[in-house]
Amino acid sequence: MEFLVLDSLFRRYPGRAAVDGISLTINRGEIFSLLGPSGCGKTTLLRLIAGLDQPDAGRVLLLGEDLTRQPAHRRPVNTVFQNYALFPHLTVAQNIAFGLEAAGKSKSVVRESVGRLLEMVRLDGYGAKRPAQLSGGEKQRVAIARALVNQPKVLLLDEPLAALDLKLRQHLLLELRALHSQVDTTFIYVTHDQGEAMSLSHRIAVLHAGKVEQIGTPREIYDSPKTAQVAAFIGDTNFLPVTRAWEEQGQWRAEVPGLGQIRTSPPPVKSLNSLRISVRPQNLRISMFPPNAVPPGNMWEAVVTESVYFGTHTLCLVEAGGHRLTVPLPQEMPAPLKGSTVWLGSDADDTLLLNAAPGPSPSVP
């Protein structure tokens, strides 16, 4: 039986659809992230799963049971919020125990469960402290322990690390992965941070304007984006405009102003609206010397406009055919001088032909 099914969910607010017909299935025991920019609908979708908001249409099914009209407190779902939502007048142990005590559990069950959760979130010895005595990371771990103590089937995490500094976020992401392996709970993680989603998730749904743009593993989303919006939001990429695209003897080609014909990968969908080419910076080759022979992929002459040293690597900014591109330099290659000529190359498989935002439609046979 499918675990959690969101079936054609709609949620409209005046002037816009926050969730616009979203359907997806989340597997039992996975970490599933809802990723997208502010206003894309991810938090509204989370609230529909939690029962904190009601859809205008559609259903929420958990193990075949329709939860759509069930109130939040009757769902086997708990939520962790960005602002912790801890009771300041209670100790850490009392905060964690709150749900069990409200459910009428015995003192021995409460004591054993609280001790187990404190150990899981690595807060042994913190039970008598109050929230005001804790750091931000410690407060968030208490909030996660409190949400897990009732053993919910689904744990919803609404940007839980957004208020923390970078190093602490990275540390807690590792702890969340480790914690997930110890509990029989499905995690649904909402974030606008691509790094968090990529490092934490088994699968990701990328949202845009209330719709799901793409669902896949982190590698699938990064290596094979289905649209320009996904390519732009996940990692860095270079975009090139396309005036027309066609298939010729099994090979796709696109016409790019200033660069001419470029070999590309096949488009991921056949119903093409407008087109752009996406090439990840690391998939561009850079050379100080022109090729000795015509290469099997793409080759463009470019002029260096800037080189920026980042410590771990140097990023070169170039202009080719009137288009600005970025490409990392190999470690052994000295940074070229500003104004010097270089040659860029890309393989067709790494030159992605994608649907773009609405605009003038190129011709596709």
Q: How far is CA 85 from the centre of its chain?
A: 25
Q: What is the DSSP letter of 350?
A: G
pLDDT given at position 273: 63
Q: Indicate the pLDDT class of residue 357, thresholds 50, 70 and 90.
A: low
CA distance 209 to 177: 29
CA distance 227 to 217: 16
Q: Which residues pair with 117 in a beta bridge?
A: none
For residues 80-100, average pLDDT: 89
pLDDT given at position 163: 75
Query: Mind listing the pLDDT tens digit for each residue in 120-160?
Result: 888 999 999 999 999 888 898 899 999 999 899 999 999 88
Query: Worst-scoring range by mean pLDDT, 68-72, 183-187, 285-289?
Result: 285-289
From the list 90, 51, 358, the residue with the least C-alpha distance to 229 is 358
The pTM of the full predicted model, rounded to 2 decimals, is 0.87
pLDDT given at position 28: 96
Of the two residues 362 and 184, the one the predictor is more confident about is 184
Structure tokens at 173: 């992401």
Of the two residues 227 and 359, the one the predictor is more confident about is 227
CB 50 within 8 A of CB 13: no
Q: Is the pLDDT of residue 359 over 50?
A: no
CB 297 within 8 A of CB 284: no
pLDDT given at position 365: 38
From the list 42, 25, 44, 23, the residue with the least C-alpha distance to 34 is 42
pLDDT given at position 321: 93
Q: Indicate the pLDDT class of residue 173, thresholds 50, 70 and 90.
A: confident
CA distance 9 to 157: 20
CB 168 within 8 A of CB 162: no
Q: Indicate the pLDDT class of residue 66, thresholds 50, 70 and 90.
A: very high
Q: What is the mean pLDDT of the chain?
A: 89
CB 3 within 8 A of CB 26: yes
Structure tokens at 242: 């396309």
Query: What sign does the CA torsion over 231, 235, 237, 241 have?
Result: positive
Q: What is the DSSP letter of 292?
A: S
From the list 176, 183, 136, 132, the residue with the least C-alpha distance to 157 is 176
Q: Which residues pair with 254 in a beta bridge?
A: 245, 262
Query: Mind listing the pLDDT tens digit for each residue in 98-125?
Result: 988 988 899 999 999 999 999 988 899 9
Q: Indicate the pLDDT class of residue 235, thresholds 50, 70 and 90.
A: confident
Query: Strands 298-309, 314-320: parallel, antiparallel or unpaired by DSSP?
Result: antiparallel
Structure tokens at 209: 């304007």
CA distance 55 to 114: 35
CB 2 within 8 A of CB 24: no
From the list 34, 59, 40, the residue with the least C-alpha distance to 48 is 59
CA angle 192, 197, 202 (to 5 degrees): 145
For residues 166-187, average pLDDT: 88
- Give the Å distances, CA to CA, from 239 to 111, 166, 228: 57, 29, 8
Query: What sign does the CA torsion over 265, 267, 273, 278 have?
Result: negative
Q: Report the share of the chain in percent with pLDDT over 90.
A: 63
Query: Mind listing the pLDDT tens digit for each residue in 196-221?
Result: 999 999 999 999 999 999 999 999 99
CA gyration radius, the chain: 25
CA distance 81 to 47: 11
